[in-house]
Amino acid sequence: MIEKLKFGHIARALRYRNYRLFFLGQGVSLVGTWMQQIALVWLVYRLTKSAFMLGAVGFISQIPAFFLMPLAGVMVDRWSRHRIMIWTQVVAMVQAFILTFLVITGRIEIWHVIALALFLGLINSFDAPARQAFVFELIEKKDDLGNAIALNSIIFNSARLIGPFIAGILIAAVGEGACFFINALSYLAVLLALLAMKIEKNKAHRRNKHVLRDLKD
């Protein structure tokens, strides 16, 4: 009984249906995301044998967030975070399927990788702030918000261990394409979770303030 109470206290944010769906969907998708990241690094090095290109692709995939995320954060306060996440997951899934097709058919070239990495960076610029802010809408009692954030950290770090482990095995056995394909499928878990949620349509979003003023704040 004591252990059950302790677990209930540790995972109390999971009593909210919407957050449970979010937690499960993200848990699956993040494993796929880490699998793709490891496979992408291996693919770049296999194609180029260049340490410089490894760094360049990493830089290209992250630089959109540096410039766009502040503006994206402002827009997330104006739009439905639920809808933003649905669209970002759909587009990211398409990106992963394109990568899968190019690798499996042997048509992949380094410029494809660069373009798709840049594209995913643009998607993540909107997805990351929307995902983080969306948690606030899933927790009814704000006293449980800290627990929800802690659980998010748990699934993120767990996926960072599990994803690369599975990716290493698959790359050695069948190649990078399998990792990209599994990542593409993993987005379905998030999409199904998001579509199953019951979200109030009248959530307050700041539409009446000036964009530049909000960006300055």
Note the pLDDT of residue 3.
Answer: 46
CB 30 within 8 A of CB 159: yes
Nearest to 156 by CA among 2, 28, 6: 28
Domain boundaries, the chain: 55-198
Note the pLDDT of residue 132.
Answer: 86
Predicted TM-score (pTM) of this structure: 0.86
Element (H, E) at 71: helix 51-76
Contacts of 152 (CB under 8 A, 6+ apart): 23, 26, 135
Contacts of 174 (CB under 8 A, 6+ apart): none
Cα dist from 56 to 60, 85, 163, 202, whole Å: 6, 28, 23, 43
Nearest to 140 by CA among 25, 15, 23, 21: 15
Q: Please count the other Cβ atoms lying within 10 Å of the Cβ belonging to residue 186.
A: 26
pLDDT, one tens digit for every residue, the chain (217 residues):
444 444 456 678 888 899 999 999 999 999 999 999 999 999 999 999 999 999 999 999 989 888 888 888 888 888 888 999 999 999 999 999 999 999 999 999 999 999 999 999 999 999 988 888 888 888 888 888 888 888 988 999 999 999 999 999 999 999 999 999 999 999 999 999 999 998 876 554 555 566 666 666 6
Give the end-to-end CA distance of the chain in Å, rounded to a whole number. Answer: 48
Alpha helices, H only, 105-175: 110-138, 145-173
Note the pLDDT of residue 216.
Answer: 64
